[in-house]
Amino acid sequence: MISIRGLKKSYGDFEAVRGLDLEIPAGQVFGFLGPNGAGKTTTIKIMAGLLTPTRGSVLVGGIDVTREPLRAKAVTGFIPDTPFLFDRLTGSEFLRFMGRLYGMPAARAAAKADQYLGFFDLTQWADHLIESYSHGMRKRLVMAGALMHGPQVVIVDEPMVGLDPRGAHKVRKLFRELAGKGITIFLTTHELSTAQAVCDRIGIIHHGKLIALGSVAELAEAARSPGSHLEEVFLKLTLESEGEERVLFRDL
pLDDT of residue 196: 92
pLDDT, tens only, 187-215: 999 889 889 999 999 999 999 999 999 99
The whole-model pTM stands at: 0.89
Q: What number is the average pLDDT over the span 92-109?
A: 95
pLDDT, tens only, 110-156: 999 999 999 999 999 999 999 999 989 999 999 999 999 999 999 99
* CA dist., res. 31 & res. 158, Å (int): 11
Spans of all domains in the chain: 1-75+153-181+188-215, 87-150
User: Is residue 244 helix, strand or coil?
Assistant: helix
- Checking if the pLDDT of 164 tops 60, the result is yes
CATH architecture type of domain 1-75+153-181+188-215? 3-Layer(aba) Sandwich (3.40)
> What secondary structure letter does DSSP report for 36?
T
* CA dist., res. 247 & res. 201, Å (int): 29
- Checking if the pLDDT of 7 tops 90, the result is yes
